[in-house]
Amino acid sequence: MAHVEVTTYGYRVTFDSKVESENAGQLQANLRRIIRPREGGFGMLIDLRKTRSFTAEAQELIKQTILICRDAGMGRQSLILHSAIAALQVRRMVKETGIAPLIRNFNAATLPDWEPAAIAWIVDGVEPEELEEPA
């Protein structure tokens, strides 16, 4: 399941398990309902620490969701990762949707205090010092 929280910078999405087509579809429906365009756009923090992988069907739904968010005004995003497999899958989805310049990955395993850096990227465009991928 994915939980969506409205924040001062935009939205925070937290996945609490493997991403399958059912929960990816629920996320897409929730974001379609919740997202409202903001002047200057909005940022997103995507917490994938509990996600180890995405099914093939879920990857397609997530790519569609990324495009929906982009078209609604999504700007910078921070991805919080812990799994090497999920990191590889995310990298491919990001590349295929063309939003790579707006994303920074944070490895929760090597950067335990990731949240301030992730939010600084979203809000102010501050480049993170730690860009290492999960092992």
- pLDDT tens-digit profile of 43-59? 999 999 999 889 999 99
User: What are 9's two structure tokens?
Assistant: 């910078």
Q: Is 113 exposed, middle or buried (0-12, 13-18, 19+ CB in 10 A)?
A: exposed
- pLDDT tens-digit profile of 103-123? 999 999 999 899 999 999 999
Average per-residue pLDDT for the chain: 91
Q: Where are the alpha helices (DSSP H) in 18-133?
A: 21-34, 56-71, 84-97, 114-124
Which helix H or strand E contains 47, and what residues bound it?
Answer: strand 42-47
- Only one residue has tokens 């301030």, namely 116
3-class secondary structure, 89: helix
- pLDDT tens-digit profile of 15-36? 988 788 899 999 999 999 999 8
